[in-house]
Each structure stands twice: as C-alpha cells, then as structure tokens.
Amino acid sequence: MEGGGVDHLAEERQKSRFDVDEMKIVWAGSRHAFEVSDRVARLVASDPAFRKDNRNLLSRKELFKNTLRKAAYAWKRIMELRLTEEEAAKLRFFIDEPAYTDLHWGMFVPAIKGQGTEEQQQKWLPLAYKMQIIGCYAQTELGHGSNVQGLETTATFDPQTDEFIINSPTLTSSKWWPGGLGKVSTHAVAYARLIVNGQDHGVHGFIVQLRSLDDHMPLPGITVGDIGMKFGSGAYNTMDNGVLRFDHVRIPRNQMLMRVLQVTREGKVVQSDVPRQLIYGTMVYVRQTIVSDASSALSRAVCIATRYSAVRRQFGSQKGGPETQVIDYKTQQSRLFPLLASAYAFRFVGEWLKWLYTDVTQRLQANDFSTLPEAHACTAGLKSLTTSATADAIEECRKLCGGHGYLTSSGLPELFAVYIPACTYEGDNTVLLLQVARFLMKTVSQLGSGKQPVGSTAYMSRAEHLMQCRCSAQRVEDWLKPDVVLEAFEARALRMSVACAQNLSKFSNPEEGFAELSADLAEAAIAHCQLIVVSKFVEKLQQDIPGQGVKQQLQTLCFVYSLHLLHKHQGDFLSTGCITPKQASLANEQLRSLYSQVRPNAIALVDAFNYTDHYLGSVLGRYDGNVYPTLYEDAWKDPLNDSVVPDGYHEYLRPVLKQQLRNARL
Amino acid sequence: MEGGGVDHLAEERQKSRFDVDEMKIVWAGSRHAFEVSDRVARLVASDPAFRKDNRNLLSRKELFKNTLRKAAYAWKRIMELRLTEEEAAKLRFFIDEPAYTDLHWGMFVPAIKGQGTEEQQQKWLPLAYKMQIIGCYAQTELGHGSNVQGLETTATFDPQTDEFIINSPTLTSSKWWPGGLGKVSTHAVAYARLIVNGQDHGVHGFIVQLRSLDDHMPLPGITVGDIGMKFGSGAYNTMDNGVLRFDHVRIPRNQMLMRVLQVTREGKVVQSDVPRQLIYGTMVYVRQTIVSDASSALSRAVCIATRYSAVRRQFGSQKGGPETQVIDYKTQQSRLFPLLASAYAFRFVGEWLKWLYTDVTQRLQANDFSTLPEAHACTAGLKSLTTSATADAIEECRKLCGGHGYLTSSGLPELFAVYIPACTYEGDNTVLLLQVARFLMKTVSQLGSGKQPVGSTAYMSRAEHLMQCRCSAQRVEDWLKPDVVLEAFEARALRMSVACAQNLSKFSNPEEGFAELSADLAEAAIAHCQLIVVSKFVEKLQQDIPGQGVKQQLQTLCFVYSLHLLHKHQGDFLSTGCITPKQASLANEQLRSLYSQVRPNAIALVDAFNYTDHYLGSVLGRYDGNVYPTLYEDAWKDPLNDSVVPDGYHEYLRPVLKQQLRNARL
C-alpha cells in the first residue's frame, strides 16, 4: 500500500498465485467497505497531526495531552470533511490510539440509546452527538468487576425532593477503570443499586453529571481522578481510566435510565412493557464488535511477523550465499501460518456475528426471544475464544520476530499491551466460557425432550449419530473434505458436553458439581466455540467468491485453521474416540503439506489486509521490507543518544572507574 | 516477611498444614543460602536508595541515570560492607533492575576467564574485578542472532604491525543488542571472524577498548550508541543495549582470547591443547543460571497471583454475606496451582543443573567428554522449556488477577516485560529444542549398538519395555504412585522420539527430513524435557526433607505438576498408546482432588519464597493483603492527578465542548 523506493519483498509478491485486490475486498467485507477503509486509512497516514511513532518517548502527561489534541483535531476533520458515521468510526480506528471518544461513542451513547426512554433520548442524545457533553460508562468498581450484581454504589430515591441520592458507601464501591472518566468526561452513565423505600431493586443505570460545563471542575460530592499507569509505555496510558466516588450526590429522578424499569413520582417501581431481554441484545452488539477487533489486532501482528519472516535470514547458508529466509523453516510456518489462518477465520466469524446481531434485533422487535439465549451464549463464547487466541498470538508473533520483536519499534509490544485488556473487559474470558458451558448443559439436558436445539447448537439434534460415528478419514487427502473435518469437530464438541453432563449428574447438588467440574466445562465450551468458527469458515466457502485463486487460498486457510486445532487439541479428539491416532497422524501430515501451499502466498495474504505503514506502526512490518537501515537510523533518535557521553557519567560512572566512590555523593 | 499493621491474610496463614520456615530452607537450597538471601533482601528493602516504585514515571534518560546511580551505590555498599561474591550477587539480584553490571559480571568476566590464557586473565581480570574497566559481551549483530557462525564482523591479522584490524563490513554486521554496550562499557569482548592470510578461521573473541578511560569518549573508529526503547515502561529500558560499528579499529594481537586457538607473531594459527569443548561447559553454566532465574520470576508472579486470589472476592454471596474468594474457584485453581507447582519443579531442576555443571566441569578437567553432549542437550532443553513456560505463566498470573493485573502497580506488566527476553537470548527457544531433538535422534539411532544412553537419556536403554508397556493405573489413587507417573512420561517421550526417527528414515535426504518434520521433532524434545523435570522432582522427594508436613506438600506439588502436564498433553499420551482415555480421565480426577489439598496451603507455599514487598513490587501481592486501600492511595500519585482539570483542557477539550473548534489551533 506504500509507494516509492525499492521493494525488498517484490519477489515474494510475485510468487503469489491469487488476485490480491479481490482478496482485499473479501477481507474488507464489501467493495464499499474496502473503499471507505482505504480512503480513510490514507487520510490518517498522510496527516502529520496523527503521527504516533514518538509515543513511547512522551511522559504520561505529555502523552495524554497529545491524545486530547488528536481527538479534538479528528473531531474537527470529521466536521470539515462532513464524514459519515461509518467514515468517522474508521477515522478513529486508524488513528489507533485509545481515547475518551471510544467510550463516548462506543458506550455512553449506546447506553442511552438502549436503556433510555424516548424522552431521555431526545434530551441527551443531541448533546452527546455534538459533544456538548462527553460521557463515559461507569460500571466496574474497585472491588467488583465481573459480578455486576455485586456492585455496591447506591441510588436511593428521595420522595421529598423527587431525586436520587447517589452514594459510594465503601472504599471498594469506588468506581474504578471506566475509560474517559478520570480527566475528561462531563457526564457518566453510572450503575448503582436502586433503593426505593428501603428496598433494593438491583443494579440500574443513571445519568450523572460529574463536572461543571463552565470550568470542568468536579461538581460537589464528586471525587474523580485517574487510576495511574497501565501495561506498556504508550498503549492504554493515553486513556484516563478513572476512579470516582459519590458523596450523596443528588440527581433528578428523570436521570435514571427508565426504558425497562421506572420509578414514579410517588416512588412506585414499575416494570415497563419493554422486555428486559433487550440488554442481552446490547451485549450481543458490543461483543460482536470485540470479535471484529480481534481479527484486526491479530491480522496486524501476523502482517508484521510474516513480512519480517521473509526479510530475516538465519542459518542454512550454502557456500557463502545468503542464509535461509526464516519463513522457509517448518517450525516458523507451523507457528505462523495457523495464526494467519486464524486472522481470516476470526474475520469471517465476526462478519457472521454482525448478521446474527441484526437477526436477533429483528426478532426482539417482533417479541421473538427464542434464539436469544443461543445468540447470547454464542457471542459470549466467541468473544472469549477470539480475544484469548489473539492476545496469545500477538506475543507469539513477537517471538517469531526474534530479538528485534522486543524493540518498541517492532510495534508488537505496543500492540500486545493495548490489546490484552480485551480478555478481561466486557466479561472475563473464563467467566464467559462457564456461561457458555451452562447453556450447553441445559441444551444437552433437553435433548430428546422435543425441544430442538437452534442456531450454533443445531448439530446437537444429531446427537445419536454424533455419539457413535467414526471418522472416515483413511488417507491424507480425506482431511481436505469439509464434511469429514466438520463431523470430527461436531462429534468432539458434543461428546465433551455429554461427558460433562454425565459427570454432573453424579452430584446430588448440581451447583456443587458445576463448581467442581468447571475446568472440564470450560474445555467443553472451547470445543463448542471452535466448532462455530470452523463451521462459519466452511459456510463462507460455500458462497460465490470472485477473483482468480481467491477462493482456493481461503480453502487452504480454512483447513490450516481446522487441522492445526485438531492437532493442538488432539487429546480431546482421541479421548472421546472421535478420531484414531492413525487419523490424527494423517491430519498432521496434511497440515504440513498445507503449509507448503501457504508459503508462496503468505506475503500477498497479509498484503490483503491493506494496512498502511502508519497503521502497522512497525519497522519490522514495513511494506517495502527495508528493515535494517530503518532500525539503524531509528536507534539514534533515542534521547539517550542525545550525547555520546551519557548524563550521569560524572556523578555515577567516573567515580566507579576511578575508584573514587568513597567520597561520592550517591 | 513484613511487619506492622493488620494481616488480612492471617486466617489463610493459619490454615496451612506444614512448617513454613522449614520450607523456606528447602526453597533457598540450604540454611546458609536462606540466611544470606534473607539478610541481603532486607538490606535492599530497607534502603530508600533502592526504591523502585517510581520507575514507570521516569523518562528514558532519568530512568537510565537512576540505574547508574543505583549501580554505583550498590558497588559502594558492597565494598563498605565487605560483601562476599555470593552476597554481592544476591544484592544485585534483589535490587531487581537490569544494569550494565549484569553483563560485566555475568558475561564479560566469565568470557575472559573461560577463553583467555593465563597471561590474559592476569592482565585483565584484576582491572575488571575492581571495575577500573567495565566490559560487555558483543556477539549478536543487527542481521545475525541465533547463527553465531554467520557473524560478519572481521578481525584481520596484520603481520606488519602485529595487530588485528576489527571491522564492520556491512550495515547488518553492526553489533546490536549487547547490554551495557550503548553508553557504559569501556571494553567489550567482541566476536569476529578471524582472518589470517586471507583465510577465514571462524568466529573468535577479542578484547576491544571502546571508550577512553579519561573522558569516556568513543575511541577513533568506534561508533557506539543505544538501540532505543524496548518492551514496557521500565523493564529493560534501564539497560543500554547497544549498537557498535568498527571502522578498521586496530588492537594488539594479544587481545585475541587465545585459550583455545592462538595466532602467533608470524601469523600461524595454532590449536592449543585446551579442548574446544570447554565452550560447551560455559554454555552449560550460563543456561543453568537461566533456569534458576526462571524459577525466581515464576515464583514471584505466582506469589502475587496467589495472594491476590485470596484477597479478591467475586460472586457466590449468600444472603448478603461476603462473596467467594476467587482462589476457591476450581477454574482459578486449575490455572494457578499448576504454576505454583511449576515454580517448585523448576527450582529443583535448577538445583540439579547446578550439580550437573559441577560434574561436567570436573569431568572436563579429567579430559572426560563422554557426558558433555548429553549435559549440553539437557541444559539447552531445560533453558527452552522453563523460560517459555515462565513467560507464559507470568502473563497467565496477570490474567488471574483480573483487571487490576493490568495496572503497573500490580508488578506483573513489569515482570513480564523484563522477563520475556529470556526466551530469545542465549539461544532462541525453538532453535534449542531442535538441538535437543537432534541429540535425541542420534541417541535413538544408537540404541542397540551397544552404546548406552547416559544421564537424562538413560531411560532409553529400556526401550524394549517402554515401547510396549501398558500403564497399570486402574483407580484414581494409582496416579499417586511415582513409578506409574514416571513410566508414563518415559514411554511417551521415548515413543515420540522413536516415531520421529521412523518418519525421518523415510526421507532419502536426512537434513530435508529433519527440516520437514521439525515441528514434530520440537514436540518430542519437549516431551523429553518435561520428563527430566518430573523425574528430578521425584528424585528430590527421595531425599530426607525435614520439617513437619514439608515433604508431603512437595509430594502434592510434584503430582500436580506431573498430572497437569499429562492432562495438557493428553494427545501425546493417547496417540502413543501410553495411557487409555479412561486412565487419562482418572488422572484428571486425581488432579482435581490434589487442588483441594493445595488450597489451604497455597498462601503458606508462596510465603515460603520469602520475598519482601520491595522485591515483589506489587500492590496486589502485598504480604498483608491490604490491597484496595493501597491501590486507592497510589492512584492519586499519578502525574495526571497533579491538577483536577487536566493540562490540555483549554486547548483541546473546551473548544470541543463549546463548539469552538473551527478557529482552534490544534
């Protein structure tokens, strides 16, 4: 995507056997999506105001101030260029720096949309849309993360004044973590236990103003600040994750978000006719975007590692010739190519989740809740699976770059540090797997009851067959049959669920059993979620995909993804008798030969992500492969190189070398 | 180990069923080692000069200068207190900040000792011991890491002047990465191709002065600097990893390290009678210390995660009572306790490696090279295994702390960032596994030739039995028999090696086969190395271990370590027919019940590491468990909280809120 200069990877690009431009469309999702993305990416990359290569040299304060500048400038450009909502979102995406705007647009606005009444939306949304107020989403507390129902903040209705009194009764009830809260937000959707007439009605959302719109000072009763440094040198330190305490802060009654539950002037608590399940719809939406972000982060890391693996050479020199490109080593391929395949797999399952969200929304509007539990389990599981895999994969890509991956200029430390919170926020990944497991146990228990499993659990209706089928693979080529692969994954997932259900039934107290077997249950949930990803990849390939060689490449990647999972989780497949050791060995052989097919196309397959060098932010991942001269040039820019003799030489080094420490002041 | 204040973990400490003080001795290795360690740790912790909690707030320059100060102060204290070598090393360990002294003492001095002649040692070592010169170890180059034989720097003998001309012929030949090189070292042991009479004699070490001892300026022909920022905010950024170029730098002939190979005045290249294998002895030494460091880093992460898991509560509240401690969840236990067991396992295998190094050294002195290849493979493999496992484990511990693990004040981001280079330096972990695999293939090929496998491969002499034996476990309790466990690991390791050997034999070109099957070979090497760790743990338990309940705890941990590996690598055990699915399931059941046995002892088992709060450097891992008030207090110290209204408000926030962006300067 970059121009000018010599292309050190040109030879690699000529090796590929498919139409990269068409693959770019597939990756983007549509020609329109590609064009928007491409245009906005170039816009950001070409504007020096969005420079980001100096981030790790800034102090916390400078870093944060710089982010405020970028956010304001971006907002200015969005208005000047009259960008659409889609374009504006892409702009923020390519600026690639966590900022309060993420929470304002991604959580505050949706919370009001989803949980506010019509009147509340009419009052607050126009202010938020113009950024006349800036909001955050204040849920998590110092002592309470995953368990929302355990939140301690209270909102007590005062019938005298028609107000709620928001209060933080304990230290652990302090709001802690919300992004944009610490220094920026003027408002928050804050979650608190609704107390009316001394009765606790559970946790609900309230719009609370935190700071004066005149001078940005915190309002009376509000204590607010930043929670301090986080992982990495840049990363999330551009964000003011905040701490917030309420000392009996009063807000008007109509600032409780009342779409689902209302408190009347008289202090009556009334359920509205809007179904409570609506909030699950929002969760499906948010988690769907997280899966899509996983494929972005993963593809970025893979792009860097793949390009540098083609640039870097180690060993294998013949008679003084160049050494072997590390991408030609099978050990490198067996670690890298499954991650490349995963990036595509997560992209497609993310696309499907977008469809699922639309489907769920339409059904909810028609008061059809039948698919909701399944859709909810599905997105929870996929959020867990894809974010855990992506976090591990970024670090693996860093290792695949050898020592140089440890330099911040490789871009990978920053990518890792900024990505890993995804494993914890919006549902801790282990907690989510157990939710999926609970749903699976329920589904298994209803088999044969006449209630048909739907959606991603539909395969369970073939339980009788799947519990006893034997894999038909007899030759290496048989592992290229989608049906053979799919059935093995279905049988494994079902048998693991059924085994858990059987073990559970031995406990007299089901909850005790669930707790005791939770590690096994989590593994069963993973098996189910991996099946979903595999099956959605297979489904994608049943579509018409234009472009010379494009579909064939995707087929190869689909099998790389599936068979590497099969190898990695061999124990599951073997212990449940889904495949034999011989078949496992054939699958592994097939996998090796698939790697050889990926090899010549690897560079083109990462070019298809269409990332600018600005967005990648990596010397190792440069489009033109001109790595070493750039690393060398960049080194001299470190402040330590401002002087040849370092600061501190006279005080702390010379006395050591000259044996004059005794009198030195240290 | 800390005094004063309330102990929130007191109840946990009372639960334990063994003598913690005796366990501390076991962990330290001896009563003497414990006493030294304990004394020096307190010395460092109580001296404000060694404060480290402000590290992530310093700019690169401040950070580096601060490290220079600490190193000088430490050296001053070492002399004032007349510390022994052992105590001085411990002091540097507990200061816990990478510094040039690590390389001076850990690489520069040993290189001269190992590769210098008697005369060279007499000349250079006294200078180094007094730090009148400071040295580093300049091997790696910009384009060459793992493949030492591919280095490009040249040292050409000039018979006219009796000198070597050291030169960097290409950009990629620039020395790159050596710690202590960039800003501090006055000297380096630099590795270069020895060229005499136009003939290339391979890579050798040369002592090169880099900087003037008068004013610290680089000498003519020397270009030297820092390579820039690395992973994390503090971490290895305290170290001046350097870049170095030689422009025909001349050094006297006697600065080539000539213990093994000599160049005479006349330009003759003469092999000395000192065996070349000596360098493998040094590698065994260095890698042995890396294994020992792995257990330190891992135990530190585990200590933090275990204590915070006992402090933190989520879900499970009954009737408004406190929520459940997360350490009581089986999912938490199944992730955390295997890491706790690994810390102990790595500690003991590290201890054994120390013995192995002594043994090898004594044999070398007696010209006995018979065990060297085995010892070399063993240390290479264990370096790879333990560092990879530790890097992953630190990140896993961070995740086990939930969101708060992401704060730098948890100590885990820093620990991760500072630890991960261990996977790459002193042999990339994948490259090392393939070296082990090569050794295993050789050993397998010699089975039946009459040559008996020695040391850690001795089990292979029972190949006939191990290839066909069947695991005898029939009940859950059978998995507590050391012989049953050991045999399963031996059979698995051997069968995987033999399967690789058989597959290799199908290739007409063995090197091609090795390349093609390298991923499988690496897995076989891992199986072999895991067996070593398990068997050394079992051997440890055959010793007399005093202290009430101590041995029993270690037994439990030994089985946790073994059975969790068995579960994780179930696929290996099943596909090679070493155990049946039923037996795998019994092992897993045993593992669950072992977790329950670990649970009440968990806090005491991490207390046994005897870490001070200073060394741990973690709010979450505080000895007294007083986590939340400390987190809250610490937050306000962030520079962003210097003012309630942040820097940048007037320029970048107010114009947004007030719709005045059009005219704003951004």
Separation in Å, CA A531 to CA A284, A485, A526, A577, B184? 19, 10, 8, 17, 55
**How many C-beta atoms surround the C-beta of residue B266 within 10 A?**
7
pLDDT, mean over chain B: 95
Query: Quick one: pLDDT at residue B277?
Result: 78
Length of chain A: 666
Q: In which band, very low, low, confident or very high, does the pLDDT at B3 lie, cut at 50, 70 and 90?
A: low
Query: Quick one: pLDDT at residue A4?
Result: 61
Q: Which two tokens stand for residue B438?
A: 């090569």
Q: Span B75-86, mean pLDDT?
A: 97
Q: Does A582 touch chain B (CB under 8 A)?
A: no
Smallest CA-to-CA distance from A489 within A500, A473, A505 is with A473
A587 has pLDDT over 70: yes
Residue A11, SS3 per DSSP: helix
Reported as a single tens digit per residue, the pLDDT across A472-510 is: 999 999 999 999 999 999 999 999 999 999 999 999 999
Q: Does A69 touch chain B (CB under 8 A)?
A: yes
Q: Which two tokens stand for residue B650?
A: 């007037």
The distance of Cα A329 from the centroid of its chain, to the nearest Å, equals 30
Please indicate whether, in this complex, the C-beta atoms of B635 and A150 are within 8 angstroms of each other.
no
Reported as a single tens digit per residue, the pLDDT across A353-380 is: 999 999 998 998 888 888 889 999 999 9
Q: Span A201-218, mean pLDDT?
A: 97
A324 annotated as a binding-site residue: no
Residue B191, SS3 per DSSP: strand
Query: Quick one: pLDDT at residue B4?
Result: 61
Query: Quick one: pLDDT at residue A281?
Result: 77
B76 CA: distance to closest CA in chain A (Å): 6
* C-alpha to C-alpha distance for A551 and A543, rounded to whole angstroms: 9
Catalytic residue among A97, A152, A351, A426: A426
B62 has pLDDT over 90: yes
Runs of H (alpha helix) within A366-425: 372-400, 412-419
Residue A191, SS3 per DSSP: strand
CB contacts of A231 in chain B (<8 Å) are 232, 406, 408, 413
Q: Which of A132, A325, A330 would best serve as a mutation to test chain B binding (most B beta carbons within 10 A)? A: A330
Q: Are A529 and A613 in contact (CB under 8 A)?
A: no
Q: Are A341 and A557 in contact (CB under 8 A)?
A: yes
A3 has pLDDT over 70: no
Give percent of chain A above pLDDT 70.
Answer: 99
State the DSSP string of A110-147.
HHHHHHS-HHHHHHHHHHHHTTSS-EEEE--BTTBSS-
Query: Quick one: pLDDT at residue B1?
Result: 53
Please indicate whether, in this complex, the C-beta atoms of A652 and B72 are within 8 angstroms of each other.
yes
Reported as a single tens digit per residue, the pLDDT across B281-296 is: 778 888 999 999 999 9
Query: Quick one: pLDDT at residue A365?
Result: 85
Query: Quick one: pLDDT at residue B370?
Result: 87
> How many helices, marked H, and strands, marked E, lie in chain B?
24, 11
Please indicate whether, in this complex, the C-beta atoms of B656 and A233 are within 8 angstroms of each other.
no
* C-alpha to C-alpha distance for B562 and B302, rounded to whole angstroms: 18
**What residues of chain B, 173 to 192, have a C-beta less than 8 Å from chain A?**
174, 176-177, 182-184, 186
Q: In which band, very low, low, confident or very high, does the pLDDT at A336 lie, cut at 50, 70 and 90?
A: very high
Q: Sign (positive/negative) of CA torsion A588, A590, A592, A594?
A: negative
Q: What is the DSSP letter of A217?
A: P
Beta strands B187-196 and B135-138 are: parallel
Residue owning tokens 């069923």: B17
Q: Are A125 and A233 in contact (CB under 8 A)?
A: no
How many CA atoms within 13 Å lie on the side-chain side of A574?
30
Smallest CA-to-CA distance from A100 within B665, B659, B657 is with B657
Q: Span B171-191, mean pLDDT?
A: 98
Q: Span B342-359, mean pLDDT?
A: 96
Q: Which two tokens stand for residue B292?
A: 């020992």
SS in 3 state form for B277-310?
A: CHHHHHHHHHHHHHHHHHHHHHHHHHHHHHHHHH
Q: What is the DSSP letter of B150?
A: G
Question: At residue A260, what is the residue type?
Answer: V
- The alpha carbon torsion through B629, B635, B637, B638 (nearest 10 deg) reads 170
Please indicate whether, in this complex, the C-beta atoms of A648 and B64 are within 8 angstroms of each other.
yes
Pick the range with the lowest mean pLDDT from A359-363, A620-624, B263-267: A359-363
Q: Which of B134, B634, B654 sits opposite A657 (nearest CB)?
A: B134
**What residues of chain B, 442 to 501, have a C-beta less than 8 Å from chain A?**
none
Residue B442, SS3 per DSSP: helix
Q: Are B549 and B25 in contact (CB under 8 A)?
A: no
Q: Which residues contact B478 (CB under 8 A, 6 or more apart)?
A: B472, B484, B586
CB contacts of B641 in chain A (<8 Å) are 225-226
A279 has pLDDT over 90: no
Reported as a single tens digit per residue, the pLDDT across B356-376 is: 999 998 998 888 888 889 999
A120 has pLDDT over 80: yes
For A109-274, the fitting CATH number among 2.40.110.10, 1.20.58.220, 1.20.1260.120, 3.30.390.50 is: 2.40.110.10
Query: Quick one: pLDDT at residue A282?
Result: 77
Please indicate whether, in this complex, the C-beta atoms of B76 and A144 are within 8 angstroms of each other.
no
Secondary element (H or E) of residue B264: none
Exposed / middle / buried, residue A277 (Cβ in 10 Å: 0-12, 13-18, 19+): middle
**How many C-beta atoms surround the C-beta of residue B275 within 10 A?**
15
Q: Does B110 touch chain A (CB under 8 A)?
A: no
Query: Quick one: pLDDT at residue B664?
Result: 83
Q: Which residue of B has its CA nearest to A392?
A: B392
A149 has pLDDT over 90: no
A611 has pLDDT over 80: yes
Q: Which of A147, A421, A652 sits opposite B68 (nearest CB)?
A: A652
Identical fold between B109-274 and B279-607: no
Q: Sign (positive/negative) of CA torsion B43, B48, B49, B52?
A: positive
Reported as a single tens digit per residue, the pLDDT across B206-244 is: 999 999 999 999 999 999 999 999 999 899 999 999 999
Query: Quick one: pLDDT at residue B133?
Result: 98
Residue B175, SS3 per DSSP: strand
B295 CA: distance to closest CA in chain A (Å): 21
Q: Are A162 and A138 in contact (CB under 8 A)?
A: no
Residue owning tokens 């494994």: A492
CB pairs under 8 A between A and B: 392
A2 has pLDDT over 60: no
Q: Which two tokens stand for residue B144?
A: 């060459």
* C-alpha to C-alpha distance for A253 and A267, rounded to whole angstroms: 10
B2 has pLDDT over 70: no
For A279-607, the fitting CATH number among 1.20.140.10, 2.60.40.10, 1.20.120.1200, 1.10.10.10 is: 1.20.140.10
B179 has pLDDT over 90: yes
pLDDT, mean over chain A: 95
Q: Sign (positive/negative) of CA torsion B394, B395, B396, B401?
A: positive
Give percent of chain B above pLDDT 70.
Answer: 99
**How many C-beta atoms surround the C-beta of residue A293 within 10 A?**
18
Query: Quick one: pLDDT at residue B135?
Result: 98
**What residues of chain A, 347 to 366, have a C-beta less than 8 Å from chain B?**
none
Task: Write down the ipTM of this complex.
Answer: 0.96
Q: Span A421-430, mean pLDDT?
A: 92
SS in 3 state form for B619-663?
A: CCCCCCCCHHHHHHHHHCCCHHHHCCCCCCHHHHHHHHHCCCCCC
B390 CA: distance to closest CA in chain A (Å): 14
Pick the range with the lowest mean pLDDT from A270-279, A451-460, B150-159: A270-279
**How many C-beta atoms surround the C-beta of residue A616 within 10 A?**
25
Query: Quick one: pLDDT at residue B275?
Result: 79
Q: Which of A226, A406, A511 would best serve as a mutation to test chain B binding (most B beta carbons within 10 A)? A: A406
Backbone angles phi, psi at A524, to 5 degrees: -65, -40
Q: Where are the domains of chain B?
A: 109-274, 279-607
**How many C-beta atoms surround the C-beta of residue B359 within 10 A?**
14
Q: Sign (positive/negative) of CA torsion B323, B324, B326, B332?
A: negative
Query: Quick one: pLDDT at residue A593?
Result: 97
Please indicate whether, in this complex, the C-beta atoms of B232 and A227 are within 8 angstroms of each other.
no
Q: Which residues contact B172 (CB under 8 A, 6 or more apart)?
A: A628, B141, B142, B143, B144, B152
